[in-house]
A and B are shown apart, each in its own frame.
Chain A
Amino acid sequence: MLRWKYSRPLLVLFVSLLALAPLLGSNPLSQPGFQQTMAVAFIWGGLALTYDLLFGFTGLLSFGHALYFATGVYVTCILINHEVVVWWLAALISIAVSAILALLVGAASLRTTGITFAMVTLAFGEAGHVILQRNFFNLTGGENGIALNADLIPEFWISVANTKFIYWAALAALIFTYVVIWWVTESSAGRVFAALRDNELRVQVLGLNTQRFKLLSFVISAALAALLGAVMLIAAGSAAPRFADAGVTISLLLMVVLGGAVTRWGAVIGGIFYSVATTRMQDLTQQDAFKTIPKWIGGPIAEPAFVLGLLFIFVVMFAPGGLSGAYYRLRLRAITKKSQ
């Protein structure tokens, strides 16, 4: 098989190390600053994975995925701030709201396929973005968003010294997302998703309700995105319209394509890499050495979108399958060589 026999034990070891790192003496992960960076990166990794379920596994190119992430952020924040329910119940309710929203939007937009579906989901996503910016009933705080009321959540979610709890929460959310998507894609429904991607007509001929399976994939990925949104709320401390921007979905697409679709770990690595790269590149361009580069070339490089965009075009044109695709090609070559 293409899987290396040590990959699973090594993965378990590596993840346990990540989980324990904040407790072990002095290392980068014992510093709150880096814990925060990694917590955000884990959330993006998880989000990229939920997008992979749609785009990679089911073949649905959605441009409105940010809507469900933002639903998780906003609904949780509103429920906590207005003291409707306790924080963890707020998160659970936001997941349910997101799933119902996805059910409605999905039912309408899945009447179209392919590229039209992409446009339609984009329109719905942008509508959500606009609504959040409008501050209806004084709920969403308009363009500034809303700050999470720190008095209404337990103490271990706040203060810099407690960043490790946010780190663990993000890691746990990522692992949970990974396990659910692993389970879904390996289940018989997951086989149908893949079949829908490869040849929808054949699935129809087999007598399966294709709409219902697509909708299932759409709703599962939306619910998981809302869960990650709730964690993001705690990590960011506020809900802002930028979480609903179409740019979020486009970043997710970049993460999945760079990391490689349909391999699960590819999307996660892509998301973590993308998130860390964008934050680190901003630090890099603040340095004096960078300012000596002439502005006509330094200006664009200072924008993370420039390098990542070029990398993205390169991967799409010349290296389909991204990072994980390249890995499996190498594995395949090694295995065939051995067997000869």
Chain B
Amino acid sequence: MDTFILIGITGIGLGALYFLIASGLSLIYGLMGVLNFAHGSFLTVGAFVGFWIASKTGFETSMPEFILAMIVGGLAAGLFALLIEQLLITRLYDRHIDQALVTVGVALVVGAVLGGWFGNDLRMFPAPMWFLTAIDIGGAKIPADRVVYIATAVLLLVGNWALLKFTRIGLIIRAGVENRNMVNALGINVRRAFSTVFFLGGFAAGVGGVLVSVYSNGVSPLIAGTYLIYGFIVVVIGGMGSVPGSFLAAMMIGVIRQFANYYATGLGDFVVVILLAVVLLIRPQGLLGKVRA
């Protein structure tokens, strides 16, 4: 039973990491129709900036310092995302394929720059020591860092929900995902909503980057690779433009992947792709996605 709980919670922790990257991807796609291949580089930028802050404090960071690293990493990634949006994406207004292509270029250039500066080897991330302690949940010893991932993801989900539900810009974003042309026709500046979504998506990815570098024991320009792909899968399964859908799908995929990996060694990725195929065949719009008119 305790192994069951351990695998389950580790899966949810992994799902939380997927959610951090997928939430931004999903909103950006839902609102603007941009398939953002640069999202992985937002994650990497956040991870490196977070690493820079955290390593100022030596081999070990206290929890407030770690939270500071997370926030600064997130902000840096958010600003970087904003820069990319203003500099490149807005100029290719409504040329969706070209927008996707430009983000591919951004991902390549960012990877090359970081690789050229820091090399592609993993650098140890100075995480708080208590991440290594185990928390007792139902007889299972859960590594403490998993709890941090889950808490961060839940916090971001709630924050996201509150923003979308209670603020004016949130209302514009929701309306824009629903029908962008109508919002435009009503004389509301949707561009501002675009920038907001890019910043928020970048922020979530940057925070995710710091956590991913803890999870994979260090930072390198290559850490984003599999998370971006899992982010895409989560977005497709959860439904484009639906943040709760992404959350649900991320948790589901994290848990299924961990269980499959445990009971059938190494089959986790394979099972996830089968799941993707099944969802596409039964519900092409995703779990909580709406059918586009």
A123→B109 contact, CB < 8 A: no
Chain A residues contacting B113 (CB-CB under 8 Å) are 299-300, 303, 306
Confirm or deny: A257 has a beta carbon within 8 angstroms of a beta carbon on chain B: yes
Q: Looking at the complex, which one of A108, A116, A118, A306 makes contact with B240 (CB distance below 8 Å)?
A: A116
Confirm or deny: B263 has a beta carbon within 8 angstroms of a beta carbon on chain A: no
Kindly specify which of B12-20, B185-193, B274-282 makes contact with the partner chain.
Answer: B274-282
Contact residues of B: prevailing secondary structure: helix
Given A120-B280, A123-B233, A312-B108, residue A300 in contact with residue B100 (CB < 8 A): no
Chain A residues contacting B96 (CB-CB under 8 Å) are 114-115
A130→B270 contact, CB < 8 A: yes
The distance in angstroms between the C-alpha atoms of A130 and B261, with both chains bound, is: 13
The distance in angstroms between the C-alpha atoms of A257 and B92, with both chains bound, is: 16
Confirm or deny: A202 has a beta carbon within 8 angstroms of a beta carbon on chain B: no
Confirm or deny: A308 has a beta carbon within 8 angstroms of a beta carbon on chain B: yes
The distance in angstroms between the C-alpha atoms of A116 and B236, with both chains bound, is: 7
Given A115-B29, A312-B108, A316-B102, residue A122 in contact with residue B232 (CB < 8 A): yes
Q: Which B residue sits closest to A302, measured CB to CB?
A: B116
Confirm or deny: A305 has a beta carbon within 8 angstroms of a beta carbon on chain B: yes
For residue A197, give the distance in angstroms from its CB to the closest CB of chain B: 11
A123→B100 contact, CB < 8 A: no
B115→A303 contact, CB < 8 A: yes
Given A302-B116, A317-B88, residue A134 in contact with residue B266 (CB < 8 A): yes
Given A119-B35, A309-B105, residue A301 in contact with residue B116 (CB < 8 A): yes
A306→B116 contact, CB < 8 A: yes
Confirm or deny: A92 has a beta carbon within 8 angstroms of a beta carbon on chain B: no
Chain A residues contacting B128 (CB-CB under 8 Å) are none
A120→B116 contact, CB < 8 A: no
B interface size (C-beta, 8 A):
41
Q: Looking at the complex, which one of B91, B105, B116, B235 makes contact with A119 (CB distance below 8 Å)?
A: B235
Confirm or deny: B73 has a beta carbon within 8 angstroms of a beta carbon on chain A: no
Given A305-B111, A305-B112, residue A108 in contact with residue B281 (CB < 8 A): yes
The distance in angstroms between the C-alpha atoms of A98 and B219, with both chains bound, is: 37
A interface size (C-beta, 8 A):
43
B88→A303 contact, CB < 8 A: no
Chain A residues contacting B273 (CB-CB under 8 Å) are 123-124, 126-127
Chain B residues contacting A109 (CB-CB under 8 Å) are 280
For residue A332, give the distance in angstroms from its CB to the closest CB of chain B: 22
Confirm or deny: A131 has a beta carbon within 8 angstroms of a beta carbon on chain B: yes
The distance in angstroms between the C-alpha atoms of A156 and B265, with both chains bound, is: 42
A316→B117 contact, CB < 8 A: no
For residue A173, give the distance in angstroms from its CB to the closest CB of chain B: 27
Q: Looking at the complex, which one of B35, B97, B102, B281 makes contact with A111 (CB distance below 8 Å)?
A: B281
Chain B residues contacting A300 (CB-CB under 8 Å) are 112-113, 115-117
Given A116-B240, A250-B108, A312-B105, residue A61 in contact with residue B100 (CB < 8 A): yes
Confirm or deny: B169 has a beta carbon within 8 angstroms of a beta carbon on chain A: no
Confirm or deny: B98 has a beta carbon within 8 angstroms of a beta carbon on chain A: yes
Chain A residues contacting B272 (CB-CB under 8 Å) are 127
The distance in angstroms between the C-alpha atoms of A17 and B272, with both chains bound, is: 50
Q: Which B residue sits closest to A125, measured CB to CB?
A: B229
Q: Looking at the complex, which one of B88, B117, B266 makes contact with A313 (CB distance below 8 Å)?
A: B88
Q: Looking at the complex, which one of A126, A130, A253 makes contact with B104 (CB distance below 8 Å)?
A: A253
96-152 of chain A: CB within 8 A of chain B: 108-109, 111-112, 114-116, 118-120, 122-124, 126-127, 130-131, 134
The 10 closest A-B pairs by CB, nearest first: A299-B116, A309-B108, A306-B112, A300-B116, A303-B112, A127-B273, A313-B105, A309-B109, A305-B112, A119-B232
